[in-house]
Structure 1
Amino acid sequence: MRPARYSALFIPTLLLVALAYGALRWWQGPEVQGYVIQAVPLVQTVVGTGRVMTESRTQIGSEITAVVKERLVQEGDKVLRGDTLLVLRADDLAAQLRQAEAALAELATSRRPQAEVALRRAESLLAQAQRETTRRRDLADRALLSNEALEQAVQAEILARSAYDTARLRAAALAPGNAEEVLLQQRVAALKAQVAKTLVRAGVAGTVLTRNVEPGDLVQPGRVLFTIAREGGTEIRVPFDERNLSRLTLHQTAMVVTDAYPGQPFPARITFIAPSIDPQRGTVEVRLTVDPVPDFLRQDMTASVNVETGHRPRALAVPNDALDRVYNDQAQVLLLRNGKVHQQEVTLGLRGLAMTEIVAGLSAGDAVLADGTAPLADGTRVRFRERKAPVSRESGDTATRNELPVNFN
Structure 2
Amino acid sequence: MAGSSLIARRYSITLGLIALAILAFFVWRIWQVPAVEVERVERALLVQNVVAAGRVIATSRAQVGVEITGTVAERFVKEGDPVKQGDLLLTLRADELKARLAEAQASLDNLRNSRRPQAMSALEQSRLELEQAQREAQRRLDLVKTRSIATELYEKAAQAEAAARAKAEQAGIVADALAPGASEERILLERVRAAEAALNKTELRAQFDGLVLTREVEPGDQVQPGRVLFEIARTDDAEVLVPVDERNLGLLAVGQKATCIADAFPTERFAARVKSIAPAIDPQRGTVDVRLSIDQLADYLREDMTVTATITTAEVPNATLVPNDALRDVHGNSANVLVLQLNKAVQRPVKLGLRGLTQSQVLDGLQAGETVITSSLVKAGDRVRANYVD
TM-score > 0.5, shorter chain as reference: yes
2:324 maps to: 319
2:274 maps to: 273
Indicate whether 1:360 and 2:360 are aligned. Answer: no
Q: Distance in 1 between matches of 2:172 and 2:122?
A: 9
Q: CA deviation at 1:72?
A: 0.9
2:311 to 295, 304, 307: 307
SS of the aligned residue for 1:134 comes to helix
2:100 maps to: 96
1:243 maps to: 250
2:261 maps to: 256
2:291 maps to: 285
Change in 2 beyond 3 A, CA 1:347/1:211: farther
SS of the aligned residue for 1:279 comes to coil
Q: CA deviation at 1:111?
A: 1.8
Q: CA deviation at 1:49?
A: 2.0
2:169 maps to: 165
Q: CA deviation at 1:74?
A: 0.5
Q: Is the 8 A contact 2:326 2:338 kept in 1?
A: no
The count of residues paired between Structure 1 and Structure 2 equals: 338
Q: CA deviation at 1:66?
A: 3.1
SS of the aligned residue for 2:371 comes to coil
AA partner of residue 267 (structure 1) = R
Change in 2 beyond 3 A, CA 1:277/1:154: same
**Greater mean deviation of Cα atoms: 333-342 or 88-97:** 333-342
1:24 maps to: none
Q: CA deviation at 1:85?
A: 1.2
Q: Distance in 2 between matches of 1:386 and 1:312?
A: 32
AA partner of residue 245 (structure 1) = L
Q: Deviations over 1:66-108 (max 9, x none)?
A: 3233211011223344331111234443232111112022224
Q: Is the 8 A contact 2:241 2:292 kept in 1?
A: yes
Change in 2 beyond 3 A, CA 1:43/1:79: same
Q: Distance in 1 between matches of 2:123 and 2:192?
A: 28
SS of the aligned residue for 2:295 comes to strand
SS of the aligned residue for 1:266 comes to coil
AA partner of residue 287 (structure 1) = S
Q: Distance in 1 between matches of 2:166 and 2:299?
A: 83
Q: Distance in 1 between matches of 2:260 and 2:162?
A: 95
Indicate whether 1:188 and 2:188 are aligned. Answer: no
SS of the aligned residue for 2:293 comes to strand
1:112 to 116, 124, 131: 116
1:46-57 counterparts in 2 under 5 A?
Answer: 46-53=50-57
1:9-408 counterparts in 2 under 5 A?
Answer: 36=38, 38-39=40-41, 44-53=48-57, 59=62, 61=64, 64-67=67-70, 68-141=72-145, 142=147, 144-146=149-151, 150-151=154-155, 153-175=157-179, 178-215=182-219, 216-220=221-225, 225-230=230-235, 236-240=240-244, 241-245=248-252, 250=256, 252=257, 254-258=259-263, 260=264, 264-270=266-272, 272-274=273-275, 277-281=278-282, 282-289=288-295, 293=298, 295=300, 297-308=301-312, 309-310=314-315, 315-319=320-324, 322-324=327-329, 326-327=331-332, 330-333=333-336, 345-362=349-366, 364-367=370-373, 370=376
Change in 2 beyond 3 A, CA 1:307/1:197: same
Change in 2 beyond 3 A, CA 1:121/1:367: closer
Q: Distance in 1 between matches of 2:117 and 2:295?
A: 68
AA partner of residue 47 (structure 1) = V
SS of the aligned residue for 1:278 comes to coil
Change in 2 beyond 3 A, CA 1:381/1:238: closer
Q: CA deviation at 1:46?
A: 1.4
Change in 2 beyond 3 A, CA 1:222/1:345: farther
Q: CA deviation at 1:223?
A: 5.5
Q: Is the 8 A contact 1:235 1:289 kept in 2?
A: no
Residue segments in structure 1 that go unaligned for 5+ positions in a row:
1-33, 372-379, 397-409
SS of the aligned residue for 2:357 comes to coil
Change in 2 beyond 3 A, CA 1:266/1:205: same
1:377 maps to: none
Q: CA deviation at 1:60?
A: 6.8
SS of the aligned residue for 1:353 comes to coil
Q: Distance in 2 between matches of 1:388 and 1:194?
A: 83
Q: Deviations over 1:207-264 (max 9, x none)?
A: 4333344442424379673414435x76534354532225x755x4525242x56xx2
Change in 2 beyond 3 A, CA 1:124/1:53: same
AA partner of residue 232 (structure 2) = T
Q: CA deviation at 1:36?
A: 4.8
SS of the aligned residue for 1:286 comes to strand
TM-score by length of structure 1 reads 0.64
1:405 maps to: none
How much identity, in percent, do the aligned residues show? 32
AA partner of residue 289 (structure 1) = D
TM-score by length of structure 2 reads 0.67
Change in 2 beyond 3 A, CA 1:313/1:222: farther
Q: Distance in 1 between matches of 2:239 and 2:359?
A: 30
